[in-house]
Copies of this chain bind each other. A is one copy, B any other.
Amino acid sequence: MKFSKNKKIQKLIELSKEATMLKGIGEVLDWDQNVNMPKNAAEGRSYQLALISSITHQKVASDQFGEVVKSLDKEIKENPAKFTLYDRVLVRESLRAYEKATKLLKDFVERESEAKSKGFEAWKEAKEKSDFSIFEPFLKKLVDLAIEEAGLLGYEDSPYDALLDKFEQGLTEKQVEKILSPLRDFTVSFLQKVLNSNITIDGEILKRKFNTQKQLEFGKELAEDSGYSFDSGRLDIAPHPFTTEFGTSSDVRITTRVDEGNLPDSILSTIHESGHGMYEQNIDKALDMTILSEETSYAMHEAMARMWENPIGRSKYFWNYQYPRLVRAFPKVISLGEKEKFISAINIVEPGFIRVDADEITYNLHIILRFEIERDLIKGKVRVKDLPEIWNSKMQEYLGITPPNDALGVLQDVHWSYGLFGYFPSYSIGNIYAAQLMNKMNKDIIGINKQLQEGDYTKIRTWLEKNVQQYGKVLTAGEICEKATGEKLNSKYLIEYLEDKFGRIYKI
């Protein structure tokens, strides 16, 4: 039995369903804004997003919701054995949502939602014109709102802790510093070794002109091959690739972008997003339309995407099967004899300006840079107007390069325009989870590389569904990690993987 027949539990499911599906409606509006919306519609959409967000908030913050949740919480404390695991987690997460919602006043939620919608539009324009000043006042407002939110949510040490907690329950600024610091030490020193090595890889093959429509179609095939269901999803073009779901595992949509002169950007983004998509599609149907039908944490979500993008999607085993199919899609652009060249090219380590184009080594430095900046922003240690300068100087310090303009610098990511502060660390923590899970999966599945070479992803898909994805929010990321690998999160597997893979490539 998953949820018990207890009347109050059933009532809570019903209330949770309303709130979850309203949130899902907001996600439809947001997806549409990114994928389809005509440009004059921004004002009306901004109003609609604020309205739906406010109504959703009212549902979760309602006395009715609070009474049911609090009374169940009390009953569970008195007699936990009367309830199932699903019941208990539903109550725990509902209580968490209720407390968060009642701390955030309706007025705050409305202001935040409107600021996000306007911020997104301003960011789009600023990025297009590479003019930070267009985005600056909107970002300033979003930072102020994030600080206000941290105050309302409460924290012990740092306001940034309250924001981290939104994405990774219980994670603190100090812990992030502790997790990321060995990775930074390793990366900075390993990157020097790579740059000093005698190996240079020619990436010319990736810069040839690949028809955008065919890129999209090939990406769609890869997504379908790996197990993403188009009966419960779709693939569209958006300025920044993302995955979204509308309250059920039956409508999980992914987006990508295409650029004729940048094949890997599109297809690896599509593989990445289909990894996210499969996670949400594979959540236990018993959790459908409830607050538990979601990723357990952003880092685990990222792990599911990164695993497909990097250890799988950039491996020679994967491309031994897929490369000939890529040649069939672009027979005039690449040839069968260029397979090794292609595989090397998608694994070039080279400091660059754009995070989403970064290789597996430098990627984490992009994240560490963003983490440090947003931590300081929230703590009021740096000013929004100084961001372009701070960004550029950190890029120089960690990666040895300075962006020529803000579109290639501080304006490149959508996140802050959505008010997402405390989110960036999840990317690197996701890489760490991915490496640790992959390490265990390699032990559990015999002949995994052979299966990749044959284009058979069934066992990988099943392993991930069974060990991670099915749980939704029923287990925390930490519980999933320990249950699946027998260990707490440990960055040594990522460091080992990077050292081994790129040590071979660059003969270090």
* Contacts from A to B (Cβ < 8 Å): 17-18, 21-22, 24-25, 28-29, 32, 36-41, 43-45, 47-48, 51-52, 55, 229-234, 246-248, 250-251, 253, 288-289
Task: Determine the distance from Cα of A17 to Cα of B50 in the docked complex, in whole angstroms.
Answer: 13
Please indicate the chain B residues that have their CB under 8 angstroms from the CB of A232 in the complex.
Answer: 38, 40-41
Q: Looking at the complex, which one of B45, B48, B251 makes contact with A40 (CB distance below 8 Å)?
A: B251
Please indicate the chain B residues that have their CB under 8 angstroms from the CB of A32 in the complex.
Answer: 28, 32
Please indicate the chain B residues that have their CB under 8 angstroms from the CB of A21 in the complex.
Answer: 44, 47-48, 51
Task: Determine the distance from Cα of A47 to Cα of B288 in the docked complex, in whole angstroms.
Answer: 12
Chain B nearest CB, measured from A203 CB (Å): 34
Task: Determine the distance from Cα of A251 to Cα of B37 in the docked complex, in whole angstroms.
Answer: 8
Q: A47-B289, A48-B247 are in contact. List 20 more A-B contacts (CB 8 A).
A: A25-B25, A28-B28, A37-B251, A38-B233, A38-B234, A38-B251, A38-B253, A40-B229, A40-B232, A40-B250, A40-B251, A41-B248, A41-B250, A41-B251, A43-B248, A44-B246, A44-B247, A44-B248, A44-B288, A44-B289
Q: Is the CB of B231 within 8 A of A40?
A: yes
Task: Select from chain B the residue with minimum beta-carbon distance to A22.
Answer: B51
Task: Determine the distance from Cα of A250 to Cα of B33 in the docked complex, in whole angstroms.
Answer: 13
Chain B nearest CB, measured from A365 CB (Å): 38
Task: Select from chain B the residue with minimum beta-carbon distance to A41.
Answer: B251
Give me 20 A-to-B residue pairs in the complex whose CB atoms sit less than 8 angstroms apart, sorted by A's number: A17-B47, A25-B25, A25-B51, A25-B52, A28-B48, A36-B234, A38-B230, A38-B231, A38-B232, A38-B251, A40-B229, A40-B232, A41-B232, A44-B247, A44-B289, A45-B246, A45-B251, A47-B289, A48-B247, A55-B55
Please indicate the chain B residues that have their CB under 8 angstroms from the CB of A36 in the complex.
Answer: 234
Task: Determine the distance from Cα of A427 to Cα of B32 in the docked complex, in whole angstroms.
Answer: 31
Copies in the complex: 2
Chain A facing B: main interface SS: helix
Please indicate the chain B residues that have their CB under 8 angstroms from the CB of A52 in the complex.
Answer: 25
Q: Is the CB of B44 within 8 A of A251?
A: yes
Task: Select from chain B the residue with minimum beta-carbon distance to A281.
Answer: B40
Please indicate the chain B residues that have their CB under 8 angstroms from the CB of A247 in the complex.
Answer: 44, 48
Please indicate the chain B residues that have their CB under 8 angstroms from the CB of A25 in the complex.
Answer: 25, 29, 48, 51-52
Chain B nearest CB, measured from A44 CB (Å): 4
Chain B nearest CB, measured from A80 CB (Å): 31
Task: Determine the distance from Cα of A246 to Cα of B42 in the docked complex, in whole angstroms.
Answer: 12
Task: Determine the distance from Cα of A18 to Cα of B48 in the docked complex, in whole angstroms.
Answer: 9
Task: Determine the distance from Cα of A413 to Cα of B468 in the docked complex, in whole angstroms.
Answer: 46
Please indicate the chain B residues that have their CB under 8 angstroms from the CB of A41 in the complex.
Answer: 232, 246, 248, 250-251
Task: Determine the distance from Cα of A22 to Cα of B52 in the docked complex, in whole angstroms.
Answer: 8
Task: Select from chain B the residue with minimum beta-carbon distance to A37.
Answer: B251
Task: Determine the distance from Cα of A234 to Cα of B52 in the docked complex, in whole angstroms.
Answer: 24
Please indicate the chain B residues that have their CB under 8 angstroms from the CB of A18 in the complex.
Answer: 51
Please indicate the chain B residues that have their CB under 8 angstroms from the CB of A231 in the complex.
Answer: 38-40
Nearest 3 pairs of A and B residues by beta carbon: A41-B251, A44-B248, A40-B250
Task: Select from chain B the residue with minimum beta-carbon distance to A44.
Answer: B248
Please indicate the chain B residues that have their CB under 8 angstroms from the CB of A45 in the complex.
Answer: 246, 251
Please indicate the chain B residues that have their CB under 8 angstroms from the CB of A22 in the complex.
Answer: 51
Task: Determine the distance from Cα of A247 to Cα of B52 in the docked complex, in whole angstroms.
Answer: 14
Please indicate the chain B residues that have their CB under 8 angstroms from the CB of A28 in the complex.
Answer: 28-29, 32, 48
Task: Determine the distance from Cα of A39 to Cα of B247 in the docked complex, in whole angstroms.
Answer: 15
Which among A32, A41, A52, A55 has the highest number of chain B CB atoms within 10 Å? A41
Task: Select from chain B the residue with minimum beta-carbon distance to A42.
Answer: B250
Task: Select from chain B the residue with minimum beta-carbon distance to A50.
Answer: B21
